[in-house]
Amino acid sequence: MTQEPVRPITRRRAAISMACAALGMAARPASAATTAATTATTASTATKPGGDIVIGQSAHLSGPLAPTLRAVLRGQEMALEAFNQKGGVEGRRVSLVTLDDAYDAQKTVSNAKELLARPDVVALFGLTNTAGAGAVLPLLVEKKVPLVGVYSGSPALRAKHNPYFFTTMASYRDEVVQMVRNLVTLHQAEIGLVYQNSPFGQLMAPVVEETCKELGATLVAKVPLEVSGSDAAAAVATLAAAKPRALIFMSFGPSMVPFVKAARQKIAAPIYCVSIANSRTLIEALGDEARGLAVAQIVPYPFRATSTLTRNYHAAMAAADLPVDYDHFFGYLNITVLLEGLKRAGRGVTPQKLVAAMEGMRMADIGGYTVDYSPENHHGSHFVELVMVAPGGRYLR
């Protein structure tokens, strides 16, 4: 596949988007009961000869950030259901066991240890906590079990090669580079940064600073923001005093709503959001204030069924009676990369065979999304494009 290059967001397009109505479609949650049922099924079948291929995951099923993940988890489920209905891996089903960590790094590690202690677990997948994922990386080497895909683009996770760690999508640094490059092109290079007051935000603030220096932009102010957004008004006041020509929102979850609403009142500047902030539930909560938000996307545009991948995704969403969106597609695509690796590893898949299969995926086209791995490169994609919230529940590219 030839992936579309990032297109600069011009002033004309910004003006159009500022007149748009906000996106307002709700996503269907994935229930903890479904996860529990999956776990029970796995326990009863995976130990049998030729039983299920078991994958483990730790994710925030509870806590304040849980609502932003529900559609992603549902997307995973739909891709997995379709894969198993088509025969799985040469007749063997794939089962995903997801444990709740409430976005707590220590719990992520505890869950990973529990999963890695199981002899039937072939791989870990889709960890959602940046600090927790970082703490799990040494365990992968110790247990010789791969982790394929994380819902974190933190450059810190990619800083050192790990023989058992594979990413499936672009990093947050890739996203920041595209944001800042776009703003420099539009002569809006005086940038204010708001970053989540958590390990995620604290890791990313220096990345934004470094990128601004590299690309000739000026970071005129930077402020932390609590996960709850309780200090949003104070953060906006600090940023407004610096008179930025654009804002980068390096946060996600509930803080997005009060921050954007406050910023719209005091700062006449575009707001660029990292991909993880793009939750439909939050866009809906923002109402008209969402119009004009620029969002980095690290999955291809899902709204047109122009590839095998998007056609299959559209069919799954139609069967579930859900509207097509980025949230579900994010989970759908991430696990699809893992499933492709399992398929290539074959019916007798082991952790080592999966590692070899992943490293052999050179410029592999997965139905319209290309990943490129090798023994030296475990980071399969750098694809990023910028979109804007548009009228009628659409996005402008």
pLDDT tens per residue, range 199-232: 889 989 999 999 999 999 999 999 999 999 999 9
CB 149 within 8 A of CB 99: no
The whole-number average pLDDT for the span 333-344 is 98
The residues, ordered by sequence, that sit 6+ positions from 40 with a Cβ below 8 Å of its Cβ are: none
**Parallel, antiparallel, or unpaired: how do β-strands 218-225 and 190-196 relate?**
parallel
**Looking at the predicted structure, is the pLDDT value of residue 71 above 50?**
yes
Q: Which two tokens stand for residue 62?
A: 């509870």
**Looking at the predicted structure, is the pLDDT value of residue 118 above 80?**
yes
Q: What is the CA radius of gyration of the chain?
A: 20
Q: In this predicted structure, what is the pLDDT of residue 306?
A: 95
CB 51 within 8 A of CB 45: yes
**Looking at the predicted structure, is the pLDDT value of residue 15 above 50?**
no
**How much is the mean pLDDT over the chain?**
88
**Looking at the predicted structure, is the pLDDT value of residue 30 above 60?**
no
Q: In this predicted structure, what is the pLDDT of residue 41?
A: 36
Helix axes 351-359, 326-345, angle to 10 degrees: 110
Q: How confident is the model at residue 65 (pLDDT cuts 50, 70, 90)?
A: confident
d(CA 318, CA 61): 25
Q: Of the given ranges (77-91, 275-289, 293-307, 324-338), which has the lowest mean pLDDT?
A: 275-289
Q: In this predicted structure, what is the pLDDT of residue 390?
A: 79
pLDDT tens per residue, range 134-185: 999 999 999 999 999 999 998 999 999 999 999 999 999 999 999 999 999 9
Residue-range domains of the chain with CATH? 11-25+172-300+386-396 (3.40.50.2300), 32-170+303-382 (3.40.50.2300)
d(CA 282, CA 277): 8
| Residue the block writes with tokens 């590299």 | 214
The amino acid that residue 92 corresponds to is R
The whole-number average pLDDT for the span 80-93 is 97
